[in-house]
Amino acid sequence: MRPRHEDAVVGFVVAVDRGRYTCVVDDDRTVVAMRARELGRRGVVVGDRVHLVGDVSGRPDTLARIVRIDERTSTLMRTADDVENALEGRQERVVVANAEQLVIVSSLSDPPPRTGFIDRCLVAAYDAEIEPLLCLTKADLAGPEEVLHYYAELDLPYVLCRPEREPDELREALAGRVSVLVGHSGVGKSTLVNRLVPDADRAVGAVSAVGKGRHTSTSAVALRLPEGGWIIDTPGVRSFGLAHVSPDSLLHGFPDLVEASTRCPPNCDHTGGSGDCGLDKLVAEGGADPRRLLSYRRLLASRTGEPEETS
């Protein structure tokens, strides 16, 4: 039977660093905690809502205990398959908990957009039942037409960001929600965070100081938005592994292709090897972009450990 802690305080985990969990409680007090032994091996991640006991004053050099983790409304995961030739490199990792929205940040130039990476993030979002939002940065350097045409059949919500303008459209989409930002290094994600949260550098520094750890650019960190809600900033990632996603769920990450699977023969693996896949028929009839089918099959192949396509 789970122990009861009537005096527990509810907190929101904003940073994790080497066994120390920085939490914000309802009155905006910051409390550092450790996991109680009674939690067993259950992990605590940024975005978790937890119950704290012990010294919850938030004073320097105090430490509370996390005794309970509330049930998660969503769990965004990635398979860490970016470590080549290492079995431990393909372990599942929880990125964040309880996110409502996944903001996929991609620049339109320098570096150019990588639809393969965007596709991976979309699959992860749909699998976790989190709403995706495409955020296209550096719109002063290139237009969005090519990227938007690629996703035309998805009705994918998007916002454009330019360096000379305030990201008001993005602010409106984030207000009052828990959103997680993902993107390759160099796409302007940190610049966006600093514009959305004017004291972001100071806030991140404060979290690092409280947690006595390294700078939090190496791990996820949650920041409160002035308009209400939270953004969870994640480090720039080279890959977003999907080995934990089943083949059926992977296909449902391509809603423009999934209906055509009803035209496939029984037990079709959708790789195209049989020559009778309904997805090939759909493309041949002009019902889907052949690049979308190619991307799906690349992701399908990557689940078995073949090299990731990031373009």
Among 101, 172, 100, 111, smallest CA distance to 137 is for 111
Sign of CA dihedral 42, 45, 49, 50: positive
Q: State yes or no: 183 annotated in a binding site.
A: yes
Q: State yes or no: 137 annotated in a binding site.
A: yes
Q: State yes or no: 219 annotated in a binding site.
A: no
Q: State yes or no: 205 annotated in a binding site.
A: no
CA angle 174, 107, 308 (to 5 degrees): 105
Q: State yes or no: 229 annotated in a binding site.
A: no
Q: State yes or no: 189 annotated in a binding site.
A: yes
Q: State yes or no: 135 annotated in a binding site.
A: no
Phi/psi at 110 (nearest 5 deg)?
Answer: 50, 65
Q: State yes or no: 121 annotated in a binding site.
A: no
Q: State yes or no: 43 annotated in a binding site.
A: no
Bridge partner list, 224:
230
C-beta of residue 96 within 8 angstroms of C-beta of residue 43: no
Sign of CA dihedral 207, 129, 133, 285: positive
Q: State yes or no: 281 annotated in a binding site.
A: no
Sign of CA dihedral 191, 194, 200, 205: positive
Q: State yes or no: 11 annotated in a binding site.
A: no
Q: State yes or no: 138 annotated in a binding site.
A: yes
Q: State yes or no: 55 annotated in a binding site.
A: no
Q: State yes or no: 128 annotated in a binding site.
A: no
DSSP string of 169-237, one letter each residue: HHHHHHTTSEEEEE--TTSSHHHHHHHHSTTHHHHHHHHHHHHT-S-GGGS-EEEE-TTSSEEEE----
Greatest Cα pair distance, the chain, in angstroms, is: 67
Strands 20-25 and 30-35: antiparallel
Q: State yes or no: 274 annotated in a binding site.
A: no
Sign of CA dihedral 165, 168, 174, 176: positive
The two tokens of residue 151 are 């996703």
Binding site, by residue number, is: 137-140, 183-191, 264, 268, 270, 277
Binding site for GTP, by residue number, is: 137-140, 183-191
Binding site for Zn(2+), by residue number, is: 264, 268, 270, 277
